Structure 1
Amino acid sequence: MKQRENRKSCYIKVWITLGMAVMLVLALYGASSYMLDYSLGYPKEERMTAEHWKNRTRNECPWTTAWMDSIYRNHCVKDTFLTMPSGYKAHAIFLYAPKATANTAVVVHGYKVRAEGMLHIAYLYNHDLGYNVLLPDLYGHGQSEGDHIQMGWQDRWDVIRWAEVANDVFRASRYSSTKQVIHGISMGAATTMAVSGEKTPDYVEMFVEDCGYTSVWDEFAGQLKEEFGLPSFPLMNTTSLLCRLRYGWSFSEARQIEQVKKSTKPMLFIHGDKDAFVPYSMLRPLFDAKTKGRKAIFIAKGSVHAIAYRDHHKEYTARVKAFLNAAE
């Protein structure tokens, strides 16, 4: 009788343990699914309009207003669509330089922004430096198709494709190819660094990254602690795994710093020293990681996340110009 009671008690403990394990797995799955949707979900109906970003640029960078009004009034801004190798329909806007030139900038926007949200950087290149400019909408942003945000990782292949489009659009009869710089801010900077570690055509000559993160894992782990007060383990691990199952890539593989280590072409690193969203502390490891090819650094004093140009637009422009001209 006693053995039967002990066996029954043992069974109960096993079932309780199994039940708790199942509950833990379900809780982790639910939390991971929430985190993935929270961080990467971006329904089309939530996307800010082009007019929102144009007006924001006018308000934050008023020196661009006359130029912006002129290029839209004179229909200088063109739309282009293409189907990416992965099968989705992508969109970009572009405008020619005031005078024919091979110099071209591909300007890449950040998290939940869109092409028009980078018109202030287009102003720098087109108005101040006389460049052709192409501004893509990344996957899941603006007028491009897509059901989630790729954090600049899978986006690297699309930006390389957009560089090819820019080369086809902007090379005039006198040029065999363009001379391109890829310039990104925030997630766009992470995209730019991800591109830099891949084999790129010769016409892609330089990169400018402004406040990009060392890796998707580092950025999300920091935000998880900042916003929810949670440690990275185990939620980051399970969410990263879920991301791989749903979208084919994981947080742990999306390491921009490893791409920078492989980069051989010149790169300018920019970061505001008061940035807490993509911490300023990420700048030095990224800069130090680049051991091949020319590099330069610009620390925007007093600037928080992604507003270095707004705060220091004259010095920002001068630093970019000097970096570009050093290659000539």
Structure 2
Amino acid sequence: MGKLLKGAAALLGAAAAAEVAGSAYLYRRTMIRYNAKTERTMKMSGVDWEKYIPMMKERREWMMEQPHEDVWITSHDGLKLHGTYFKGAEGNKAVICFHGYTSEGLNDYSSLSHYYLKHGFRMLLIDERAHGRSEGEHIGFGNMDRLDGKRWIDWMVETAGEDVQIILHGNSMGGATVCMMSGLDLPPQVKGIISDCAFTSMKDVFTHVLHSMYHIPAFPMLQLADWANKKQVGYGLDDCNSAREVRRAKVPFLFIHGSEDVFVPCWMTEEIYKNCASPKTKLIVGGAGHGESYYKDTEAYENAMDSFIGGVMK
């Protein structure tokens, strides 16, 4: 019996050690800047991006021909944050764009810049903390980025003037960021928020990925990762949740999601939409995967933007 108990204890110890090691690997792989790879994220999205490259390339080349400059702010905790500012027609319409996980502003909005700049918008493409040319080691999945976003709003008001009308546009992690920002006390210059394929929380999206892509249970890996994140940066994986934050929203929303999103499932936007307290509308693009909606049905996407922006801006 003693040998049996010792054997069982050894097995339990080994299993516990494996769980701790797995959780540490998950944490480093997803939360630490230099281990999170763009190529892996694109593969996990499940979208065949090759077919959209010609459009992306053409529009990026056009975008980079427009007058632009690098701009910088300092976050509340001392990080130097980068953005690329396109002055456009220098009128009173502006958009601040928030990119997805492991990406950067110039990458995610090269195609949509064609819409915004041709409609006379000033356009600010930010690099969220721990991405692009912005400082930071830990990826916050919107938790800290929402506070950075508010500072970018202040920068835009100072740059464009008190009468500027601002749209916040975010996709994926950026979509979650703008949803989380809606729970803050935003200035009156923010007229509308467009959220494309947002997730509810880090906890929810990690649970989904572990179940659907790795076919392993979330417990206890997520609990250990939650503990590690609280110890490292002061907040847990569900401390800031898009579906909870929008309950305090006052700014009108346009929600967009692809019906075939396997990375951030469409039910997350449905949950956020259901909880949103402000005026809201949504577009679900049939057959679109993660972040694919604009490319899958450009006409429907831009028509939804036309209607929404026309309703919130003078």
Task: Determine if the TM-score, normalized by the shorter chain, exceeds 0.5.
Answer: yes
What is residue 189 of structure 1 aligned with on the other side?
175
Deviation per CA, 1:15-55, whole angstroms, max 9, x where unpaired? 8787666655543332211111122123189678xxxxxxx
Name the SS of the counterpart of 1:39 in structure 2: helix
- Matched with 2:294 is 309
Q: Is the 8 A contact 1:308 1:316 kept in 2?
A: yes
Point out where structure 2 has 5 or more consecutive residues left out of the alignment: 40-48
Q: Which residue number in structure 2 is paired with residue 52 of structure 1? A: none
Which of 179, 182, 188 is the matching residue for 1:202? 188
Pick from 49, 52, 63: which aligns with 1:60? 52
CA distance change for structure 1 residues 271 and 90 in 2, over 3 Å: closer, same or farther?
same
* Match status 1:94 vs 2:80: no
Quote how far apart the aligned CAs of 1:216 are. 1.4
Instruction: Report the alpha carbon displacement of residue 70 of structure 1 after superposing the two structures with TM.
Output: 4.5
1:109 aligned residue: 99
- The one-letter code sitting in structure 2 at the alignment partner of 1:94 is Y
Counterpart of 2:209 in 1: which secondary structure? helix
Tell me which residue corresponds to 2:150.
160
The amino acid of 2:238's aligned partner reads S
Q: Distance in 1 between matches of 2:184 and 2:56?
A: 34
The verdict on how the C-alpha distance between 1:131 and 1:61 changes in structure 2, with shifts beyond 3 A counting, is farther
Q: Which residue of structure 2 aligns with residue 53 of structure 1?
A: none
Instruction: Give the secondary-structure state (helix, strand or coil) at the position aligned to 1:190.
Output: helix
2:258/2:290 contact within 8 Å kept: yes
Number of the residue aligned with 2:110: 119
Does residue 1:144 correspond to 2:143, yes or no?
no
CA contact (8 A) 2:63 2:113 kept: no
C-alpha contact 1:107 1:122 (8 A) present in aligned 2 = no
Residue 326 of structure 1 aligns to a residue in which SS?
A: helix
1:191 deviates by 0.5
Residue of structure 1 aligned with 2:232, choices 240, 246, 269: 246
Counterpart among 36, 39, 51 of residue 27 in structure 2: 36
Residues 250-277 of structure 1, C-alpha deviation per residue, up to 9 Å, x if partnerless? 1121311101111121000101111111
Q: Distance in 2 between the 1:218 and 1:46 partners?
A: 20
Distance change >3 Å, CA 284–CA 58, structure 1 → 2? closer
2:172–2:197 CA contact under 8 A, matched in 1? yes
Q: Does 1:72 align with 2:68?
A: no
SS at match of 1:265: coil
Instruction: For residue 33 of structure 2, give the secondary structure of its aligned residue in structure 1.
Output: coil
Unpaired runs of at least 5, structure 1 = 1-5, 49-56
**Alignment equivalent of 1:296, drawn from 270, 277, 281:** 281
Deviation at 1:319, TM superposition (A): 0.8
% identical aligned pairs: 23
Q: Kindly provide the amino acid, as one letter, of the partner of residue 87 in structure 2.
A: Y
Given that 1:110 and 1:187 are in contact with CA atoms closer than 8 Å, whether structure 2 keeps it comes out as: yes
Q: Based on CA coordinates, which of the two structures has the bigger radius of gyration? A: 1
Output one character per residue of 1:96-149: Cα deviation in whole Å (capped at 9) or x when no partner: 12x33111100110011101112222222112x211110110011110111131
SS of 2:112's equivalent in the other structure is helix
2:269 is the alignment partner of 1:283: yes
Task: Write the deviation string for residues 279-313 of structure 1: whole angstroms up to 9, x where unpaired.
Answer: 112222211111x2210111112111101111211
Task: Identify the match of residue 198 of structure 2 among 200, 205, 212.
Answer: 212
Take 1:139 and 1:285, find their aligned partners in 2: how far apart are those partners?
26
Tell me how far apart the structure 2 counterparts of residues 204 and 58 of structure 1 sit (CA, whole Å): 35
TM-score by length of 1: 0.84
- Partner amino acid for 2:61? D
Q: 1:132 aligned to 112, 116, 122, which one? A: 122
Q: Work out the CA distance in 2 between the residues paired with 1:168 and 1:289.
A: 32
Kept in 2, the 8 Å contact 1:60–1:310? The answer is: yes
CA-based RMSD of the aligned residues comes to: 2.7
Deviations 1:211-249 (A, max 9, x none): 001221110000011222112221111111111111221
Distance 1:82 1:47, change over 3 A: farther
> After TM superposition, which residue ranges in structure 1, 4 or more long, deviate above 6 angstroms?
15-21
- Conserved in 2, the CA contact under 8 Å of 1:269 and 1:283? yes
- Distance in structure 2 (CA, Å) of the matches to 1:248 and 1:27: 25
Q: Per the alignment, do residues 58 and 72 of structure 1 end up closer, same or farther by CA in structure 2, a change over 3 Å counting? A: farther
Aligned AA (2:247)? K
